[in-house]
A and B are shown apart, each in its own frame.
Chain A
Amino acid sequence: MQGGGENATTTDERHSSRVTFEVNGSSREVTLDNRTTLLDALREHLDLTGAKKGCDHGQCGSCTVLLDGRRVKSCLVFAVTLEGRSVVSVEGLAGPDELSPLQAAFIAHDAFQCGYCTPGQLCSARGMLDEVARGWPSAVTDDLSAPAELTDAEIRERMAGNLCRCAAYPHIVAAVRETAAAS
């Protein structure tokens, strides 16, 4: 009934690599199957299950993390490509036992229900606010030369890559708006 099995390890030397990258401020050295995505590295090898797997195809945004400060869908990134790079997942958005203003605003505005898309929403919003601060326009920005203004329409457009089946969207927008206004 069983084949290849127990003796064949999943970290077969021909198909695995050692990689060192920073996760939430700490350097982590791991040997991973070359096929392992950043999402699975976090969830299955580093016990950081905050980033969620909703589709594994980059279509839902639940796995969004920050890679060198920019938001990426971690299911579309191979972990072995991350040598020397820096990852922040939802677990690293605030210090231990702390909440970032964005996290606190999500609770205050009830910007989630089942909570499964929430880590991705939070990382995406954090990355998005930095993009706005850098003046990056979006598809709904009228004047590409003016500083980006964070209207509700801008927030909705810029957060459109993160699906929420519970449809907490109005509350997500409110939480992001409040956080942006306070910073």
Chain B
Amino acid sequence: MSTGAVGRAYPRLEGREKVTGTARYAVEYPVDGITYGWAVPSAVVRGRITRVDTTQALASPGVLAVVHHGNAPRLAPGPEPELWLLQEPAVHYRGQYVAVVVATSLEAAREGARLVRIDYDAGPHSTVLTDDHPGLYQPDHVNPSYPTDTAEGDFDAGYAAAPVRVDVTYRTPAYHNNPMEPHATTAQWRDGRLLVHDSNQGATSVRATLAELFEVPPESVRVVAQHVGGGFGSKGYAKAAVVLTALAARHVDRPVKLALTRQQIFGPIGYRTPTIQRVRLAADADGRLTAICHDAISQTSTIREFAEQTAVYTRSMYAAPHRRTTHRLVRLDVPTPFWMRAPGECPGAYALESAMDELALAVGIDPVELRIRNDTEVDPDQGRPFTSRNLVACLREGAQRFGWTDRDPTPRARRDGRWLIGTGMAGSSYPARARPSSARATARPDGSFLVQINATDIGTGARTAIWQVAADALGVPPERVEIHIGDTALPTAPLAGGSMGTASWSWAVIRAAQTLREKLQDLPGGVPADDVSADADTTDEVGGQPTLPRYAYGAQFAEVRVDADTGEVRLNRMLGVFAAGRVVNPTTARSQLIGGMTMGLSMALHEEGLLDERYGDWVNHDLATYHITGCADVESVEAYWLDEHDDELNPAGVKGIGEIGIVGAAAAIANAVHHATGVRVRDLPIRLDKLVGTSSLA
């Protein structure tokens, strides 16, 4: 019996707390005897600390301690070198945290941090990604575990023989996640046990990392993340803030809260790597692809390998007999890049979907029609049928809703006063995955139910979605269900990332609910005299699932206007149609999709990490100079979805919607700018200086 909670538009469960200011984030819990930490970043790129002079800092009123490699508690050298903080004099990149000042007030800690004097022996550095960097190499695999290179058929021969060819190179800059809440932690040690309130996307793995680093049993660590002010990948695993805070708290033997500043999160907590992507497409006269090659270059750091899976999108999106993808990496003296919303797919789709637009023009076929002609029911990469692939349906519905039909493909053909008007589109896709999870469901004597799972709601609406799924699985109205998430005291669960949170968590919740209902069947009235619980762990079931190509799809459409004199680009409207399995909550789903699309707008037109090679660091590391899309930039962004049923996904039938909204979004806008102006800008963001002075613009 289903009560039909899934699919209904419930407001967020924590909405009231969020609009009244009572929702507590990581450094907002009152703690007796609290002290304040302030991180000190390194002033050199690569080198060695030769002296830490704490005299002035310690003499400053309120300062309790300066924690640095010379006096910090020891950490176990773990698998995550980025987190082996304050352990060694070596400096691997500029901005690396090299000390923490702890004081009795925030102001005193900040002043103390200013007074710490650190001398370095600095060496030469290399911090700029180029396509001919001598350090280019082939990693063993790309994130998370894809083959580095793939080849099918004979690309070179297929490409050479084709009548229509496109050979283009696209570049994307460093992008910085910039969740509104910078990474922050409150840490308390008591009798060898550690309690942290931390801003992260998955408390289970943060606990495991802390236990490993501090060499305590995982049961001695509790990580709470009730409300998290966004993450977009940057809080996917334990990051510097939680380690620094726990180190400082152990050192001063008092509770410490530490929030990284906005400037301090441009790098050390991860960012989207810059990319250089060469895409070659070949087609017959009808636009049918015969050869596809995508060569992607990105960067990593000297201390950890992170290989963005930039070209993986191209492996499964469109079919062709001759295909090749490659990834090359350079180790630079920079912070390690990390996940940012749709790592791999996001920059990769920008390149491929832009190249498809160039091919459409070269072969004289409408861009929507070109994608329909190159659709495939069989995954070109795995050679198996997709469990469901509704790309064409998204394209058709999107074209109809957007008003794409009868579009004149001629660039620079529409004008409204000073404004040149153009439209563009792109395909979109993102893998639908799930990870093992556990959950507990409890029936209570008053007829209510409690569902417990260490899921995390970083703003996705996870709390509400799991609650809806739980109500249906328990067969009761959702008002009778209480949901607890965001705490390692609850059953372990995977992180909010990879668009697999809802799939993974709901799977375990449904299994726990089913077991509980079996237990309750024999009870009179189905209501127990005492609490009755059922636990579920989906490790075996998820692990035993057949490997099949499971993907969500989408079609992105954009209309821009470009000032013919100044080159200013404005987005008139953007519309996306997605096929992402079952949609649990239309309200929160729409917000997720719109949010992803808008971040794609931000990527296309606004964001750019500008690195100064002399200092090896991004100079525009604040929100005044690193522009993210603001309210005035968003005139109309609409998201729709198809009713899609796929029985080969997971019990809830969901594909995940956190990331697909950004995939292809920047390409749709870049293609629209070309349609408006006739100028093809192949390095993002599309700033006005890249348009003015070109022959197409007056």
Total count of chain A residues near the partner, CB < 8 A: 70
Among the stretches A129-137, A142-150, A166-174, the one at the interface with B is A166-174
Residue of B nearest to A44 (CB): B106
A56 contacts across to B, CB distance below 8 A: 261-262
Which residues of B (40-74) have their CB < 8 Å from a CB of A? 54-55, 57-65, 71
Among the stretches B10-18, B130-138, B378-386, the one at the interface with A is B10-18
Q: A3-B63, A113-B595 given as contacts; is B181 within 8 A of A54 (CB)?
A: yes
Decide yes or no whether B22 CB sits under 8 A from chain A: yes
B63 contacts across to A, CB distance below 8 A: 3-5, 8
In this complex, which of A15, A43, A163 has the most chain B Cβ atoms within 10 angstroms of its Cβ?
A163
In this complex, which of A49, A90, A157 has the most chain B Cβ atoms within 10 angstroms of its Cβ?
A49
Q: A165-B179, A170-B636 given as contacts; is B18 within 8 A of A118 (CB)?
A: yes
Partner of B180, one of A60, A93, A107: A60
Residue of A nearest to B254 (CB): A6
Decide yes or no whether B87 CB sits under 8 A from chain A: no
Which residues of A (7-37) have their CB < 8 Å from a CB of B? 8-10, 12, 15, 33, 35-36
Residue of A nearest to B179 (CB): A165
Decide yes or no whether A71 CB sits under 8 A from chain B: no
Which residues of B (642-685) have their CB < 8 Å from a CB of A? none
Among the stretches B224-232, B281-289, B398-406, B466-474, the one at the interface with A is B224-232
Q: A1-B65, A2-B64 given as contacts; is B624 within 8 A of A59 (CB)?
A: yes
Which residues of A (27-67) have their CB < 8 Å from a CB of B? 33, 35-36, 40, 43-44, 47-57, 59-60, 62
B564-607 Cβ-contact flags toward A at 8 Å (1 or 0): 00000000000000000000000110111011011100100000
B55 contacts across to A, CB distance below 8 A: 3
In the complex, how many angstroms separate the beta carbon of A6 from the nearest chain B beta carbon? Answer: 7
B236-278 Cβ-contact flags toward A at 8 Å (1 or 0): 0000000000000001100000010110000000000000000
Decide yes or no whether A179 CB sits under 8 A from chain B: no
A160 contacts across to B, CB distance below 8 A: 630-632
Tell me whether B227 and A164 are in contact (CB under 8 A): no
Decide yes or no whether B300 CB sits under 8 A from chain A: no
Tell me whether A116 and B588 are in contact (CB under 8 A): no
CA distance A40 to B105 in the complex (A): 10
Tell me whether B628 and A9 are in contact (CB under 8 A): no
In this complex, which of A1, A12, A43, A99 has the most chain B Cβ atoms within 10 angstroms of its Cβ?
A1
Partner of B22, one of A44, A50, A54: A50
In the complex, how many angstroms separate the beta carbon of B185 from the nearest chain A beta carbon? Answer: 14
A43 contacts across to B, CB distance below 8 A: 28
A87 contacts across to B, CB distance below 8 A: none
Decide yes or no whether B182 CB sits under 8 A from chain A: yes
A52 contacts across to B, CB distance below 8 A: 25, 180-181, 229
In the complex, how many angstroms separate the beta carbon of B457 from the nearest chain A beta carbon? Answer: 8
Residue of A nearest to B9 (CB): A110
In this complex, which of B23, B587, B588 has the most chain A Cβ atoms within 10 angstroms of its Cβ?
B23
Which residues of A (120-156) have their CB < 8 Å from a CB of B? 122, 152-153, 155-156
Decide yes or no whether A181 CB sits under 8 A from chain B: no
In the complex, how many angstroms separate the beta carbon of A29 from the nearest chain B beta carbon? Answer: 18
Q: A9-B104, A168-B591 given as contacts; is B632 within 8 A of A156 (CB)?
A: yes
B157 contacts across to A, CB distance below 8 A: none
A74 contacts across to B, CB distance below 8 A: none
CA distance A89 to B19 in the complex (A): 11
Tell me whether B22 and A165 are in contact (CB under 8 A): no
Tell me whether B637 and A170 are in contact (CB under 8 A): yes
B54 contacts across to A, CB distance below 8 A: 3
In the complex, how many angstroms separate the beta carbon of A55 from the nearest chain B beta carbon? Answer: 4
Partner of A107, one of B19, B107, B227, B594: B19
Residue of B nearest to A54 (CB): B180
A interface: dominant SS: loop
Tell me whether A170 and B180 are in contact (CB under 8 A): no
In the complex, how many angstroms separate the beta carbon of A78 from the nearest chain B beta carbon? Answer: 11
Tell me whether A157 and B632 are in contact (CB under 8 A): yes
Tell me whether B631 and A51 are in contact (CB under 8 A): no
A90 contacts across to B, CB distance below 8 A: 19-21
Decide yes or no whether A114 CB sits under 8 A from chain B: yes
Q: A3-B58, A57-B262 given as contacts; is B181 within 8 A of A106 (CB)?
A: no
Q: A5-B63, A99-B19, A165-B232 given as contacts; is B227 within 8 A of A113 (CB)?
A: no
In the complex, how many angstroms separate the beta carbon of A136 from the nearest chain B beta carbon? Answer: 17
In the complex, how many angstroms separate the beta carbon of A87 from the nearest chain B beta carbon? Answer: 13
Partner of B595, one of A4, A5, A167: A167
B61 contacts across to A, CB distance below 8 A: 4, 8-10, 12, 15
Tell me whether A163 and B622 are in contact (CB under 8 A): no
Residue of B nearest to A96 (CB): B20
A113 contacts across to B, CB distance below 8 A: 230, 459-461, 588, 591-592, 595
Partner of A168, one of B57, B460, B595, B623: B595
Residue of A nearest to B229 (CB): A116
CA distance A110 to B629 in the complex (A): 19
Tell me whether A116 and B181 are in contact (CB under 8 A): yes
Q: A54-B182, A156-B631, A157-B632 given as contacts; is B21 within 8 A of A119 (CB)?
A: yes
Residue of B nearest to A34 (CB): B107
Decide yes or no whether A159 CB sits under 8 A from chain B: yes
Tell me whether B20 and A9 are in contact (CB under 8 A): no
CA distance A65 to B600 in the complex (A): 30
Decide yes or no whether B178 CB sits under 8 A from chain A: yes
B459 contacts across to A, CB distance below 8 A: 112-116, 166
A82-119 Cβ-contact flags toward B at 8 Å (1 or 0): 00000001110110000100010011101011111111
In this complex, which of B22, B230, B251 has the most chain A Cβ atoms within 10 angstroms of its Cβ?
B230
B178 contacts across to A, CB distance below 8 A: 165
Partner of A110, one of B28, B591, B631, B636: B591
Q: A9-B61, A114-B230, A117-B180 given as contacts; is B19 within 8 A of A57 (CB)?
A: no
CA distance A10 to B62 in the complex (A): 5
Decide yes or no whether B635 CB sits under 8 A from chain A: yes
CA distance A53 to B55 in the complex (A): 30
Tell me whether B16 and A99 are in contact (CB under 8 A): yes
Decide yes or no whether B103 CB sits under 8 A from chain A: yes
Partner of B21, one of A50, A54, A114, A155: A50
Decide yes or no whether B417 CB sits under 8 A from chain A: no
Which residues of B (355-395) have their CB < 8 Å from a CB of A? none
Q: A3-B58, A112-B18 given as contacts; is B229 within 8 A of A169 (CB)?
A: no
In the complex, how many angstroms separate the beta carbon of A74 from the nearest chain B beta carbon? Answer: 13
In the complex, how many angstroms separate the beta carbon of B106 from the nearest chain A beta carbon? Answer: 6
Tell me whether A114 and B179 are in contact (CB under 8 A): yes
Residue of B nearest to A47 (CB): B30
Tell me whether B14 and A115 are in contact (CB under 8 A): yes
Tell me whether B623 and A164 are in contact (CB under 8 A): no
CA distance A106 to B14 in the complex (A): 12
Tell me whether B634 and A167 are in contact (CB under 8 A): yes
Decide yes or no whether B24 CB sits under 8 A from chain A: yes
Tell me whether B58 and A103 are in contact (CB under 8 A): no
CA distance A172 to B181 in the complex (A): 19
Q: A60-B623, A106-B19 given as contacts; is B594 within 8 A of A170 (CB)?
A: yes
Residue of B nearest to A48 (CB): B21
Tell me whether B22 and A162 are in contact (CB under 8 A): no
Tell me whether B591 and A166 are in contact (CB under 8 A): yes
In the complex, how many angstroms separate the beta carbon of B595 from the nearest chain A beta carbon? Answer: 4
B631 contacts across to A, CB distance below 8 A: 155-157, 159-160, 162, 164, 169, 172-173
CA distance A99 to B182 in the complex (A): 28
Tell me whether B623 and A55 are in contact (CB under 8 A): yes
CA distance A172 to B630 in the complex (A): 12
Q: What are 8 A-B contacts defined by CB distance under 8 Å?
A: A2-B58, A3-B55, A3-B65, A50-B22, A59-B623, A99-B20, A113-B591, A163-B623
